[in-house]
């Protein structure tokens, strides 16, 4: 059974999860700052307490939030862990949204993962009304 733990992930756990899905390496300081500055973090653990996934929310908490670093380790992908994490992240954002207002919840999707996010009610861009998402790497 998967357990979700709120706002309790170590830098080492975060870096290990990133490594297990072959994401870009971060420095320890980058990882610490990323965790310190997010609004909300969820860690998914297995029955033995081993981290098997995570997700975090970044943003202003009023007009826009982003789902960042949604990770599920390959060994448990396709078993509902990602949906459990994303559902809890969406619930958190909805709970901080001011009554009577609308907040944007955005994310950048890894290539090949579009169907997962569509299944979880995200709208792929571009559309007739929305342009494509864009990115720039600064180094």
Residue 104 pLDDT: 95
Whether 137 shows a pLDDT value over 90: the answer reads: no
| Predicted confidence (pLDDT) per residue in 54-86, tens digit | 999 999 999 999 999 999 999 999 999 999 999
Q: CA torsion, points 38, 138, 136, 106, in degrees to nearest 10?
A: 0
Q: What is the pLDDT of residue 111?
A: 87
pLDDT at 52 over 90: yes
- Please enumerate in sequence order all residues whose Cβ is within 8 A of that of 51, keeping only pairs 6 or more positions apart, or say none: 9, 13, 16, 17, 43, 44, 45
Q: Domains of the chain: which residue ranges?
A: 3-119
- The span from the CA of 82 to the CA of 135, in Å, is 24
- The pTM (predicted TM-score) of the whole model is 0.94
Q: Which CATH number fits domain 3-119: 3.30.360.10, 2.130.10.10, 3.40.50.300, 3.40.630.30?
A: 3.40.630.30
């Amino acid at each position: 059974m998967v357990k979700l733990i709120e706002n309790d992930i170590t830098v080492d756990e975060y870096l290990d999860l990133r490594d297990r899905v072959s994401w870009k390496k971060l420095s320890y300081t980058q990882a610490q700052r990323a965790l310190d500055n997010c609004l909300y973090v969820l860690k998914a653990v297995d029955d033995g307490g081993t981290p098997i996934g995570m997700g975090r929310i970044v943003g202003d908490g009023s007009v826009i939030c982003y789902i960042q670093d949604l990770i599920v380790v390959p060994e448990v992908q396709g078993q509902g862990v990602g949906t459990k994490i994303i559902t809890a992240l969406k619930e958190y954002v909805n709970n901080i949204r001011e009554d009577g207002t609308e907040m944007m919840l955005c994310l950048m999707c890894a290539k090949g993962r579009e169907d997962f996010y569509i299944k979880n009610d995200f709208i792929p861009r571009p559309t007739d009304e929305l342009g494509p998402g864009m990115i720039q790497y600064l180094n």
